[in-house]
DNA sequence: TATATATACCTTGACAGACGAGGTATCGTG
DNA sequence: CACGATACCTCGTCTGTCAAGGTATATATA
């Protein structure tokens, strides 16, 4: 069973930031990683991913640069900023709170 | 800190059904209960609540009837159906899976 | 050589759920 | 009689998701 987008909604940015905390990465790879980590239960669709990248960049939470691949398709890498790290901590705490609240409500 | 609507999004129906599992209730009361249970962290706005009621009723998960209050404002009560109980179990399992998945993704 | 698949990026427009802002009516209290 | 609490409701807007479409490169296969 896969997780519906409405449940995932609101967590995309946190999920992306979490990945970039570990290491710089690029869209296609991030997408793959998410599916792998969750055994194909979560899939952020490409369009969703890219619109999240735009928001994160506009907010100053990530920076981007082009990879220097000499072969294969070019890659646009993303790296998390200091502001992004702080934002992640907020996202993370929000998630913990939401989790506790929903757990209380769903008996 | 209150929980953003995007995080709650997708759980409204499950939260309502969970309440109706305990006992029949009406909009205003359900709203109050949710805030109380979560120490004012979650608040489903009225418009949100009522649109969720419509969806749940259309899906056959709840039934409604008017209370027989002789004093005070009339109340529209909601009760969960058998189908609603089954749907709740699905929502609940989805939540458990989503929780596990997001916990894996947010380090 | 042609074609398919995987990698890698991107945009547009539509959809659906949340909610702000507005409305109605009843009752108790100062 | 004004006001706050209780109780219901609708309309229109906003925002994140995603289906559907596009581009280009490299490799394997027929």
pTM comes to: 0.91
The protein residue nearest D23 (Cα–C1') is A73
- A99 touches B: beta carbon within 8 Å: yes
Nearest to B65 by CA among B26, B21, B23: B26
- B60 touches A: beta carbon within 8 Å: no
CB–CB contact A106 B6 (8 Å):
no
- Between B3 and A72, where is the model more confident? A72
Q: Measured between CB atoms, which of A1, A7, A18 is closest to B105?
A: A18
What's the pLDDT score for residue A46?
95
Condensed to tens digits (0 to 9), the pLDDT of residues B21-32 reads 999 999 999 999
B42 in Cβ contact with B8 (< 8 Å): yes
What's the pLDDT score for residue A71?
83
- Tell me the mean pLDDT in the region A30-48: 92
Condensed to tens digits (0 to 9), the pLDDT of residues B27-82 reads 999 999 999 999 888 889 999 999 999 999 999 999 999 998 888 889 999 999 99
B79 forms beta bridges with: B63
Burial code (b: 16+ CB inside 10 Å, e: under 16) for B20-55 equals beeebbbbeebbeebeebbeebbbbeeeebeebbee
- Tell me the mean pLDDT in the region A41-47: 90
At residue A25, what are phi and psi to the nearest 5 degrees?
A: -155, 180
């Amino acid at each position: 069973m896969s997780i519906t987008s409405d449940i995932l909604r609101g967590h995309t940015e946190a999920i992306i930031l979490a990945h970039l905390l570990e290491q710089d990465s690029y869209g296609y790879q991030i997408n793959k990683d998410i599916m792998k980590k969750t055994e194909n239960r979560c899939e952020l669709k490409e369009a969703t991913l890219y619109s999240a990248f735009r928001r994160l960049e506009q907010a100053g939470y990530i920076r981007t640069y082009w990879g220097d691949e000499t072969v294969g398709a070019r890659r646009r890498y993303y790296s998390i900023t200091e502001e992004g790290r702080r934002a992640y901590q907020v996202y993370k705490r929000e998630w913990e709170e939401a989790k506790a609240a929903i757990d209380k409500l769903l008996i």
